[in-house]
């Protein structure tokens, strides 16, 4: 896949990412709005959803990404592949999740994935991490019972910290205590490929909305 030049990281707390996104008209985006929806948070170049959308035409796939150039690139790749069950939006999940979910036919929302979120190593940058209690509350509010949240990271402490946030919310139940092996979604993300190529472990968990 060709690479475009983009900033390595952005600060989601910066003033320029404070505005909530304006959702599109989903009935224009997806011709088949009755299909189950999978939302991928931090979709990057979008290769993961592109492959899933090709494999599962009966699902609608939506990616959100804070680096706008990647969103433009991913939607171009979607158009090149003539896919109508895939879309990417530019936005900061920490300011846009509630707006985004409220705009969707959430009875169709079946899965949310958060994969290899930026670790933001420094303790003083902890507020930049994607999985905050507010995000878990918003997911609890909109994800129907039985819907799942798929989490993974190469860094065990990052995966554990995401799990800690979900375990603090009584709306969620973890499907198994051990890290999940192999990947039940079968399509690896870009970071997952890099991790597996280095022979490093991946830490995965699924949380189900009660
Ligand atoms: C380490 S990359 C992982 C990308 C992809 N999920 C994968 O597994 O290959 C994390 C991605 O999340 C995006 N991101 C970070 N904070 C975000 C936020 N607040 N809202 C939306 N996307 C965010 C980054 O720009 C980056 O593309």
Catalytic residue among 25, 58, 118, 164: 118
Domain ranges of the chain: 26-209
Complete edge-to-edge strand list for the sheet that includes strand 109-115: 86-90, 60-65, 37-41, 109-115, 148-153, 203-209, 172-174
CA pair distance 31, 150, nearest whole angstrom: 26
User: What band does 2 get if pLDDT is binned at 50, 70 and 90?
Assistant: low
| Residue whose CA lies nearest to ligand 1 atom number 24 | 42
Q: Which of 4, 10, 15, 44 to mutate to test the pocket of ligand 1 (most atoms within 8 A of CB)?
A: 44
Of 103, 95, 98, which Cα lies nearest the Cα of 87? Answer: 103
CA pair distance 37, 87, nearest whole angstrom: 11
Q: pLDDT tens digit string along 197-209?
A: 999 999 999 999 9
Q: pLDDT tens digit string along 69-103?
A: 999 999 999 999 999 999 999 999 999 999 999 99
Q: Buried b / exposed e across 96-115, counting CB within 10 Å, b at 16+?
A: bbbebbeebeeebbbbbbbb
Sequence-distant (≥ 6) Cβ neighbours of residue 75 within 8 angstroms: 87, 88
Of 70, 63, 107, 106, which Cα lies nearest the Cα of 85? Answer: 63
Q: Which atom of ligand 1 is nearest to the CA of 118?
A: 1
CA pair distance 32, 25, nearest whole angstrom: 13
Q: Which residue has the tokens 């870009």?
A: 190
Give all strands (DSSP E) within the chain, no chain letters.
37-41, 60-65, 86-90, 109-115, 148-153, 172-174, 203-209
Would you state the pLDDT for residue 198?
97
Would you state the pLDDT for residue 5?
75
Looking at domain 26-209, which CATH architecture does it have?
3-Layer(aba) Sandwich (3.40)
Q: pLDDT tens digit string along 153-198?
A: 999 999 999 999 999 999 999 999 999 999 999 899 999 999 999 9
Question: Residues 30, 109: contact at Cβ < 8 Å?
Answer: no
Q: Active site includes 154?
A: no
The pTM (predicted TM-score) of the whole model is 0.95
């Amino acid at each position: 896949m060709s690479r475009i030049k983009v900033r390595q990281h952005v600060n989601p707390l910066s003033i320029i990412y404070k505005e909530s996104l304006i959702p599109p008209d989903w009935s224009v985006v997806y011709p088949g709005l009755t299909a189950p929806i999978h939302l991928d948070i931090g979709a990057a170049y979008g290769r993961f959803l592109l492959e899933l959308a090709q494999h599962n035409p009966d699902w609608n796939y939506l990616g959100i990404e804070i680096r706008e150039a990647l969103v433009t690139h991913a939607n171009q790749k979607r158009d090149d592949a003539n896919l109508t069950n895939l879309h990417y939006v530019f936005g900061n999940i920490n300011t846009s999740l509630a707006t985004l979910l409220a705009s969707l036919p959430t009875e169709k929302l079946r899965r949310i994935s958060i994969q290899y979120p930026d670790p933001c190593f420094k303790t003083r940058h902890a507020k930049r991490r994607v999985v905050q209690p507010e995000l878990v509350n918003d997911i609890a509010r909109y994800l129907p019972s039985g819907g799942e949240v798929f989490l993974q990271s190469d860094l065990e402490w990052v995966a554990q910290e995401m799990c800690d946030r979900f375990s603090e919310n009584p709306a969620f139940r973890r499907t198994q205590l051990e890290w999940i092996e192999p990947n039940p979604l079968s399509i690896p993300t870009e970071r997952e490929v890099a991790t597996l190529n280095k022979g490093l472990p991946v830490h995965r968990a699924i949380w189900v909305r009660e």
